[in-house]
Homo-oligomer: A and B are copies of this chain.
Amino acid sequence: MASGGFWSLENENGGENSNQNQSTPRAWCQAAHKFTGDLGSKLYALLNVGEGEKTASTIAQKVGDPTENCDCNKPCNCSKRNLDFSNLYSTDLLPALDGDLATITFLQEVVDVMLAYIVKSFDRSTKVIDFHYPNELLETNNWDLSDEPETLEDVLINCRAALKYSIKTGHPRYFNQLSTGLDMVGLAAEWLTSTANTNMFTYEVAPVFVLLEYITLRKMREIVGWPDGQGDGLFSPGGAISNMYAMLVARFKMFPEVKEKGMSSAPRLAAFTSEHCHFSIKKGAAALGIGTDSVICIKADERGKMMPSDLERRIVEAKQKGLVPFFVSATAGTTVYGAFDPLNAVADICKRHNIWMHVDGAWGGSLLMSRKHRWKLDGVERANSMTWNPHKMMSVPLQSSALLVREEGLMQSCNQLHACYLFQQDKHYDMAYDTGDKALQCGRHVDIFKLWLMWRAKGTFGFEAQIDKCLELSEYLYNKIKDREGYEMVFDGEPQHTNVCFWYLPPGVRYLEDKEERRRRLHKVAPVIKARMMEHGTTMVSYQPQGNKVNFFRMVISNPAATYEDIDFLVEEIERLGQDL
């Protein structure tokens, strides 16, 4: 048995076997008793005898007799129901003197709220969202901040309200974003990460997490195909920041003097990416002082893939204009179409022109975990850097975004500033693990544990199965609607990722002969259906226009909870909500 609590590792209690010999009939009570193994004796003492006297004057007055209605003969948590939260405040919780009981009871109450929410999240009979317009939501509750504290009862009410009005992002019919799903092991790891509440900058304050980041990044680089998993990287707060890091490091590699001297020491630079790229490439260029005009958008083919011939042409053109090409970002899984740029062809061009090749695999990078689908990223091993967001296709809780860099030491040279109060050079351990100076951030959130623990729980094969299943579902959707009356695909052919882009044409639009009128009406269909989905709360899927194409649905599947029936439901729901348009 794996139970026994944290202390069992430290041999401070008799462990599981002794519990099994007890004849207490109710297992939950047994769990409580077990939990109170070492704690309980303290609680018991506090609440009943001896050193409990000082408690009696404070907590006990507030909670009444905590042993009331309890016929346990042992130290226990039976007083849970007697804790009157309407009379307790946060100051009654730890580190308050003898705040243990109130703390455990309060946290357990929050856990109960969450467990109920989690189970409901997977129940198709519940709504994906209980939608309210902003002004309505403001009126459902008093959300204001004031000088005076509120009771723990009110705090719990706030917790329930926050979840009640949140999206159930783990719901099997939530398809709205590239990040969906709620993984139970990942969630447990996030709870634990919050409990550890530390920072990634030094081994000193995050020994376990720093090592796990090291191990996980190396594993990811092995999967990319870099020899022995060598190279560098870190987990950053999202794909946009990872992409910005890549651009920053690429600039440093070519013009290291920019770090001290600024962009005035470099010639005018040029970066290249597909017209279907993620907007973070331009955001990064704006922030880094390169400028959005220096991001040259390369034509994509009908399927959304960058055209190598156009890339080559534009690089040559830029050089002729006196610009210095320094960065190409190929996209592995575009946001809207799910297209994979031809990485080998891009790598050839980058090699020829000596340009840093970055692969933005925020969305599609996870396909590297699938033996069936990883060919779509062939050539990624030739890249200089890669963004890969496990919080998307691998359903790791938000956020989990890795930047991987092939050349070791570059991130450190690029970003380090040797803050002596943090990265002391006379520490008693191997300071190679103090990786904080690689980052732009000082404090960095622990994003590693959830991915690492999920990987342990699933194995690479488990992630593969999850990813393959999502791709099967999208293939199913594609086959279901490609010839179905009332549907038009935005691009021909089977999607490469789980993105299925399509128009639904309600009967009133379907037969319109005036093409302009048809376009005009069709443009409004997806927003209305989406609004109705949210008001009914039945499902959520994204839509957008693109180029000269009017609003279309972009279905994506990254939610491991989704099934064929949910795909069928989505199609039926679109038709049900849209047929009168």
Contacts and interface: CB of A to CB of B under 8 A. Distances in A.
Nearest to A243: B442
Interface string A164-200: 1111011010001101001111011111101111110
Given A134-B429, A457-B89, A72 B26 contact: yes
A397 interface: yes
Given A95-B561, A113-B5, A456 B158 contact: yes
A523 to B, nearest CB: 8
A283 B143 contact: no
B398 A35 contact: no
A353 interface: no
A269 B457 CA distance: 51
A188 to B, nearest CB: 4
A2 interface: yes
A90 B458 contact: yes
B2 A461 contact: no
27 contacts: A25-B72, A31-B80, A38-B116, A90-B183, A93-B184, A95-B560, A103-B119, A107-B184, A133-B430, A137-B211, A149-B462, A155-B453, A162-B449, A165-B207, A177-B205, A182-B197, A237-B237, A259-B286, A260-B286, A261-B291, A262-B289, A262-B293, A280-B442, A283-B440, A391-B443, A398-B445, A421-B542
B122 A95 contact: yes
A512 interface: no
Contact of A154 (B28, B100, B205, B456): B456
A405 interface: no
B208 A196 contact: no
A581 interface: no
A574 interface: no
A292 interface: yes
A29 interface: yes
Copies in the complex: 2
A290 interface: yes
Given A196-B169, A289-B263, A149 B461 contact: yes
A316 interface: no
A307 interface: no
Contacts of A417: 279, 282-283, 286, 292
Contact of A116 (B25, B39, B111, B524): B39
Given A30-B81, A426-B524, A428-B535, 19 more contacts: A25-B78, A38-B116, A94-B182, A143-B212, A145-B455, A155-B188, A162-B208, A163-B192, A166-B196, A258-B289, A260-B292, A262-B294, A264-B268, A279-B417, A282-B417, A398-B446, A424-B527, A426-B551, A445-B445
A86 interface: yes
A182 B30 CA distance: 28
A85 interface: yes
A265 B82 CA distance: 68
Nearest to A424: B544
Contacts of A8: 160
Given A35-B115, A420-B545, A421-B544, A27 B81 contact: yes
Contacts of A108: 31, 111, 115
A190 B194 contact: yes
A367 interface: no
A237 B477 CA distance: 38
Interface in A51-90: 69-72, 76-82, 84-86, 89-90
Interface string A355-382: 0000000000000000000000000000
A119 to B, nearest CB: 5
Interface in A293-339: 293-294, 335-336
Given A115-B108, A169-B205, A287-B287, A162 B461 contact: no
Interface in A127-141: 131-135, 137-138
Candidate in A261, A280, A287, A462 with the most chain B CB atoms within 10 angstroms: A287
Contacts of A29: 26, 28-29
Given A134-B433, A172-B95, A215 B144 contact: yes
A513 B399 CA distance: 56
Interface string A383-394: 000000001000
A240 B441 contact: yes
A524 to B, nearest CB: 7
Nearest to A155: B457
A47 interface: no
Contact of A115 (B104, B291, B293, B457): B104
A134 B203 contact: yes
A472 interface: no
Contacts of A241: 237, 440-441
B445 A112 contact: no
Contacts of A577: none
A454 interface: yes
A443 B89 contact: no
Nearest to A544: B421
A534 interface: yes
A248 interface: yes
Nearest to A449: B162
A534 to B, nearest CB: 7
A342 interface: no
Contacts of A430: 133-135
A206 interface: yes
A275 to B, nearest CB: 13
